[in-house]
Each structure stands twice: as structure tokens, then as C-alpha cells.
Copies of this chain bind each other. A is one copy, B any other.
Amino acid sequence: MRSYPAGVRARKLAEEYPVVDLDADAIEAARLLATHRLPGLVVTDGRTGKPYTILPASQVVRFLVPAYVQDDPSLAAVVDEPLADQVARKLTGHRVRSMLPSTPKELPVVDADDTILEVAAIMARLRCPLVAVAEGNAVLGVITAARLLEHALASA
């Protein structure tokens, strides 16, 4: 028998993770991703306080790529337009909301009392690298796939 701590719940594995509001400044969100080298941010809806979606860092990069390059990627090799020039144009004065894809990916939310197997099952089914852990309307934190593996390996 393994000495797995009985009844470990999502609450115990939840960790702090940067959260931004839908109406937060776009450039601040980009800085948060860059400074902490994050693959994405949790976006909450300020009206409800609930986790709403993930803003992937790759989506912000996408937002910075000029439209004519997105239309014809081969142009990227021959034009000499630095990505940095797009920062002021695309991010300054904009909000997180406008950087999201037109149909934002749903952020999986688990309950603080869900079991670790439930969390793993959701992560496996949606192939998502992290889930938000909520208690009522409050986001307690997130559980990443790597954190889940750490827990499973430590208990094995």
C-alpha cells in the first residue's frame, strides 16, 4: 500500500498565479507575462470576479504580428519591421479584452473540494496545462499540470 494522504483536495494544491482583469491594461498584461516568463495569465471578469479565460502569451505575440504578415507569413523573412514597433501601436491604450481571441477558450474551473483525480481527469480531457481553483466566486489559485505531477510523484 502506498502512503497516499487520503482525501487530498484541489484546495491543497492551489498556488498563487498572476490574475488580470478583462479591463486591465494590455501593456501591463504583456509585461506580467514577460517579467514572470509565464505561458499565460488567468483573466477574470471584473463584474463577477469569476475566472473567465486564459490569455496565452502566444496570443499576445499574435496580436503583435502585423496583419499583412499574418496573412502571408513568407513576408516575415523579407520585411524589416521590428516587433517592438508594434508594441506602442497595438498595446498602448488597449485592454486585455481586446487581445483575446474572438471565441476565448474556456478556463477550466474546479471546486476547492474536488479530488486530485477529478482535477487530473479535467486536465487530461481538455489537454490544458492549468485549471483555476475556485471557492464560490473567489479564485483560490491555480493547479498546473507540473504541480499535479509533482504531487503524484511525491506520493508514489
Chain A residues in the interface with B (C-beta under 8 A): 2, 4, 6, 8, 27, 30-31, 33-40, 56-62, 64-65, 69-70, 73, 76-77, 79-88, 114-118, 120-125, 127-129, 144-156
Most chain B beta-carbon contacts within 10 A, residue among A85, A86, A156? A156
Closest 5 CB pairs of A and B: A57-B145, A84-B155, A87-B156, A62-B124, A34-B150
Shortest Cβ distance from A117 into chain B, in angstroms? Answer: 5
Shortest Cβ distance from A113 into chain B, in angstroms? Answer: 10
Q: How far is the CA of A82 from the CA of B81 in the complex (A)?
A: 52
Contact flag A2-B85 (CB < 8 Å), given A57-B129, A60-B149, A149-B60: yes
